[in-house]
Amino acid sequence: MATNTGTASCTPEAVFAVLADGWLYPSWVVGASRIRDVEAIWPAPGAKIHHSFGVWPLLINDSTSVLEWDPPHRAVLKARGWPVGSAKVVLEVEPTPGGCTMTLLEDAIEGPGFLIPKAARDALIHVRNVETLRRLTYLAEGRAA
């Protein structure tokens, strides 16, 4: 799995407050363009966010579902983006004296994206998730302020 780590000057609870608001998903997930619906039980396991990814007019509609939800420590999501495929995304958050450390792990689990050699796939995901963690940090710190 591609692994990214970042720090934030807020509590793990502030990070999970962002994750719990499904309507914020395209604000922190690079590539997500808009939200079409957030199921009422979000972020309970099994709940889905219905989103689009890409750039208009080349948008693809799909969804992300919650596999595990253990705030403020760990969230596991299955992000779908067909025809590219699906990815498993794990976010682990640990408190630190000045805030928290976030570790984001992601890898393709099915579809054509899974066929990309692992080293190349990890490198591409890593670059994308540098910005994903940056956005999540800004949102979490902003909400905590």
CA 140 to chain CA centroid, nearest Å: 13
- Could you count the other beta carbons within 10 Å of the beta carbon of residue 143? 15
Q: Where are the domains of the chain?
A: 2-144
Superfamily of domain 2-144 in CATH is START domain (3.30.530.20)
**What is the per-residue pLDDT across 103-117, written as a single tens digit (0 to 9) for each?**
999 999 999 999 999
Task: List residues bridging with 6 in a β-sheet.
Answer: 102
Backbone φ, ψ for residue 20 (5° rounding): -70, -15
pLDDT at 55: 87
Whether the Cβ atoms of residue 33 and residue 25 lie closer than 8 Å to each other: no
Which whole number is the average pLDDT over 127-141? 98
pLDDT at 28: 98
Considering the entire predicted model, what is its pTM? 0.95
pLDDT at 36: 97
Q: How confident is the model at residue 84 (pLDDT cuts 50, 70, 90)?
A: confident
Structure tokens at 47: 């709940």
CA 42 to chain CA centroid, nearest Å: 14
